[in-house]
Chain A
Amino acid sequence: MFELAELRSFWVYLSASPLLGLTLTLCAYAVAQAMYARCKFSALANPVAIAIALVCAVLWLSGMSYERYFAGAQFVHFLLGPATVALAVPLVRQLPRLRRAFLPVTLALVCGSVTAIVSAVCIVVALGGTAELARSAGPKSATTPIAMAVSERLGGLPSLTAVLVIGTGIFGAVTARFLFGWMKIHSHEVRGFALGVASHGIGTARAFQVSAEMGAFAGLGMGLNGVLTALLAPGLIPLVLRWLGV
């Protein structure tokens, strides 16, 4: 009995410091990576999804609040900023290829970005979703801060948009390989760029696991689609909604 009480007080002591949340995040990621390797790097064993599920399970079982967890996890979260800046490095390496492909890349970007916004709004409305839900789903292919800002400006639900953005990232990272295999698209540049446009940072993380050039083109697609969605979505989404009569 005494030992149990001791263990309990030790847990309370540990969970009061940021150390536990940080350690938990890194452990969950290490386990997710090991499972990903065990599954022979199959796209189905997406390490982001596995690590999120593991952390959620631990929080649920231990009764630890998200705020307490994030006190430690914020140190990892913070690195997203510098990592985004770092995407410029592989991009410069691909510059000669990029120069040659300037026109095709621009065309593909505009078509992909418009498809992402219009198809999300149309499908949600067609299946009985309200205009508010459609506004929340429209910017889902852009990176989280852009998507949430667009959703808020249009009168959507920013927190719902955040859920849809993460879902889009994981779903794209998991399914892209099978879709491209079926479509017989083998070029790493083409696969990477499409992954970045459709599934932002999580698609880009997946692309980097396959090859550096696929990652570079994914980073390019993610960055460009973020900027274009911020510019296009505020005009395009109300237009599509009016056209659909919602």
Chain B
Amino acid sequence: MLVSFTILLLFQCLGEGIAYVLHLPVPGPVIGMLLLFAALLAAPALQRKIEADANELLRHLSLLFVPAGVGIVAAASSSSGHWLALLAGLMGSTLLTLAVTALVLRAASPKDGDV
């Protein structure tokens, strides 16, 4: 577990470093993910080493959103105005995005229902 965690943190550091040096608007961990993806393609042995631990971490992805979520709810009470417009925008746009993305992906896929 320690080895996998060290590898993940190393790639995160690398991603943060690249984002900082190149002034990219993309967060470091996202760049780290792309770098690890490339590394896993280049060295399949790495995949076997970290696979089980990475999947265990991802199984509890929900937990990791709790602290930030609490902070946002705590801050939300201070915001004001046009809640109806914002709420409708959030709901309508999310449903539209889900539908459009799924329909385009299904329509463009070679076989129906199988990507």
Given contacts A82-B57, A85-B33, A112-B97, whether A120 and B68 have CB atoms under 8 Å apart is no
Assess the B105–A201 pair: CB atoms within 8 A. Answer: no
A150 at the interface (CB under 8 A from B): yes
Please name the residue on chain B nearest to A118 by beta carbon. B93
Q: How extensive is the interface on chain A, given as a class?
A: 35 or more
- Residues of A with C-beta under 8 A to B3: none
Residue among B5, B75, B89, B90 facing the most chain A CB atoms (10 A cut-off) = B89
Assess the B58–A208 pair: CB atoms within 8 A. Answer: yes
Assess the A129–B82 pair: CB atoms within 8 A. Answer: yes
Question: Number of B residues whose C-beta is below 8 Å from A?
Answer: 75
- Residues of A with C-beta under 8 A to B40: 88-89, 92
Assess the A104–B105 pair: CB atoms within 8 A. Answer: yes
Report the bound CA distance from A48 to B95 in whole Å.
19
Residue among B63, B71, B76 facing the most chain A CB atoms (10 A cut-off) = B63
A187 at the interface (CB under 8 A from B): yes
Main SS of the interface on chain B?
helix
Main SS of the interface on chain A?
helix
B45 at the interface (CB under 8 A from A): no
A237 at the interface (CB under 8 A from B): no
1/0 contact string of A155-169 vs chain B (CB within 8 Å): 001011011101111
Please name the residue on chain B nearest to A109 by beta carbon. B101
Assess the B101–A79 pair: CB atoms within 8 A. Answer: no
> Which positions 79-115 of chain B face chain A at CB distance < 8 Å?
79, 81-82, 84-86, 88-106, 108-110, 113-115
CB < 8 Å: which of B5, B26, B96 contacts A227?
B26
Assess the B62–A48 pair: CB atoms within 8 A. Answer: yes
Shortest beta-carbon contacts, A-B, top 9: A112-B101, A104-B108, A73-B67, A127-B85, A108-B105, A84-B29, A129-B85, A205-B61, A88-B36
CB-defined A-B contacts under 8 Å, sample of 7 = A76-B67, A95-B41, A133-B85, A171-B94, A198-B94, A198-B97, A205-B61
Report B's interface with A, CB cutoff 8 A. 5, 8-9, 11-12, 15, 25-30, 32-34, 36-37, 40-41, 47, 50-51, 54-55, 57-76, 79, 81-82, 84-86, 88-106, 108-110, 113-115
Report A's interface with B, CB cutoff 8 A. 25-26, 28-29, 47-49, 51-52, 55-56, 59, 66, 69-70, 73-74, 76-77, 79-92, 95, 97, 100-101, 103-105, 107-109, 111-112, 115-116, 119-121, 123-124, 126-130, 133-134, 137, 140-141, 143-146, 149-150, 153, 157, 159-160, 162-164, 166-169, 171-172, 175-176, 179-180, 183, 185-187, 189-191, 193-195, 197-199, 201-202, 204-206, 208-209, 212, 215, 217, 219, 221, 223, 226-227, 230
